[in-house]
Amino acid sequence: MTAAATLAVELATEELPPKALRRLGEAFAATLADGLRARGFLGDASAATPYATPRRLAVTISQVRGRSPDQPYKQKVLPVSVAFGADGKPTPALAKKLAAMGLAESDLARMMREPDGKAEALFYAGVKPGRALAEGLQEALDEAIAKLPIPKVMRYAAAGSYYNDIAFVRPAHRLLALHGAGVVPVTALGLAAGRMTDGHRFLSRKGIEVATADAYAETLRAEGKVIASFDERRATIAAQLDKAAQGDRVVAPDALLDEVTALVEWPVACAGTFDPAFLAVPQECLILTMQQNQKYFALTDAAGKMRARFLLVSNLAAQDTSAIVGGNERVLRARLADARFFFEQDRKARLESRLPKLDAVVYLAKLGAEGSQGKRVARLAALARAIAPATGAAPEVAERAARLAKADLVTDMVGEFPELQGTMGRYYAQHDGEPAEVADAIAQHYWPRFAGDALPEGPVAQAVALADKMESMAGLFGVGQVPSGDKDPFGLRRAAIGVVRILAEKGVALDLGRLIALAFAAFEGVPGFKPAAADLAGFIEDRLRGWLREQGASAHQVEALLSVPGVPLPSLPARLAAVQAFESLPEAAALAAANKRIVNILRKSGGEAAAAIDRALLGEGAERDLWLAFGRLGPQVDADMTRGDYAAALRALATAKPAVDRFFDDVMVMAEDPAVRANRLALLRSVAATMNAVADISRLAA
């Protein structure tokens, strides 16, 4: 086996799609390393380092063997009873098997007889010789290319060919493969491997020779003016932006920073300015214009107010950057002028005057004429009005906010930047003189937009947000467009989680079943619509289970909480804390087991329990003690529940353990006398009701 050394593999290409570059680079490196490891070329100390620039995907892997180690193996040949006849001599079947394995009869001396189930079999122990790196790398490279998460494949012709017979993310021009100082003779995408790479398109030259695999990244940096590592280039850009900001805050979302990193090989951050008069336009519009159209970074002061300055990242190093900055300032000026024009034009018409245009905007095609945004707004208004009392909002204000919530969809600004829906509606509502809570609800009814996002703040915004999410879920469930697998094109899972969070975290005391009923009632009489309340309830409950698990609940605790019918969602956090505290008590396990026994007895009794407990039928001793114990506990638990002190209610139950234990030790529940049996079942039903007031603790039993 030849000595281990660093391996470098690079595919030099035309400009790769920037939004996919990071993922492509990481996948190429990881899959290639995994392929080599599976073939025995890597050791425990081997480590892969990914590289990705606009015009290359590459990886270096340390401690790569030049030849994989020999692999001992043991292979079953035949059962002994088949391999040898009664005379002990090899059978024709054995001879045929040996020939198929490339062995001779003389190899029988190296074989072993070992148990194989109930019989004995003949095994051959051999050694599979290792393979050269070129052979293993070729297979691993082919796999890595085939498994790349390419967003859209291009087909192109290889050099000297007239046929578009090569498929890859972008045309590839060079393949580099070095093991130590030597070239590994592999091929890919019609290219033969060498030691040459290409530098920066403008700052360097084509055809840079890389002496060794270890020198790959440094050679590109020194001779090619390329920072090959995506992460290093990203960190360099972030540091340059921070320095150029001169104390201001850089608006640098991760997606924008990743995309800019994927557009440059030798980043240079520069600062530019624009006319402060543009700051009269909402800064969300200006920032989005900079980010989406030009990939610029906006600047704000410490309070978040936008500055009339911006940062750009150039792919050129120049002593005088004034020409670069000046050109970008001119381009930005035109973009900001467009944004200002959209904003000024939009404000010439009130939001309310735009409502008729929503009738021409299709929201849910399967509902036909009822599937327009205009019809949807009418349903939202009615639903928000019905929900408003539960959130503490004035019904007429909630209805007004819901009626205007989608009007900004037909504005010029939202038409250009759909991401600003809601945000622009708030600005236009404020300009129209709408109440502040209406304007805020227009913006916040989309919240939460993603995991961990803020929730709608005011009662009106909460009512409209619940109406928006419930109408969306009910409508889509009603026409059969439900999520399947990992596909959720309408964001229904996000909507369901939003409903759960608003109800639970904002303390909205609205029964989930009632909310679902209101949502489906909004579609009454709509042709082609089929109510699916049970399906939607199950869907939301699944999201509720997930939310509880995120709060730290175990699977048993989730079942305990959700098995109690009609539990208000706002009480769930406190109930969960109480259940978790209860489980730490020494009496908890026994009480949970006893409760499980009670639940099973009641389930199997088939409704034999009496309507009420007859004191005259209670036996002396354990049976009467249990009745007395829970007669005292019932009012105490009820008082604790009324105060919302669920932990106190469960602690009180712990005192009943001796009475419960004695009952099951001394009393036969299923007595022969039907009246006594029915009375004891009624007693257990009363006990279970008290024990399960906070949560079904039988679910906590192992």
**What does the longest C-alpha to C-alpha distance in the chain come to?**
107
- Residue 653 buriedness (CB in 10 A; 0-12 / 13-18 / 19+): buried
At 229, is the secondary structure helix, strand, or coil?
Answer: coil
Ranges of H-type helices in 292-422: 322-346, 373-391, 395-404, 412-416
> Is 680:560 a contact under the CB 8 Å cutoff?
no
> Is 364:371 a contact under the CB 8 Å cutoff?
yes
Helix axes 459-478, 436-444, angle to 10 degrees: 40
At 506, is the secondary structure helix, strand, or coil?
Answer: coil
Rg (CA), the chain: 36
Strand-pairing partners, residue 50, are 59
- Rounded CA gap, 268 and 231, in Å? 16
Strand-pairing partners, residue 121, are 79, 114
- Rounded CA gap, 219 and 217, in Å? 6
Q: What is the per-residue DSSP string for 547-559?
A: HHHHTT--HHHHH
Question: Consecutive sets of 10 residues in the chain, 702 residues long: mean pLDDT of each?
Answer: 88 97 98 97 96 98 94 86 87 90 84 87 86 96 97 89 90 97 97 96 94 98 97 98 97 97 97 97 97 96 97 93 95 96 97 96 91 96 97 98 98 96 98 97 96 95 98 95 85 95 94 95 92 95 95 94 90 94 91 90 86 90 93 93 93 91 91 91 92 92 76
pLDDT recorded at residue 1: 44
- Residue 185 buriedness (CB in 10 A; 0-12 / 13-18 / 19+): middle
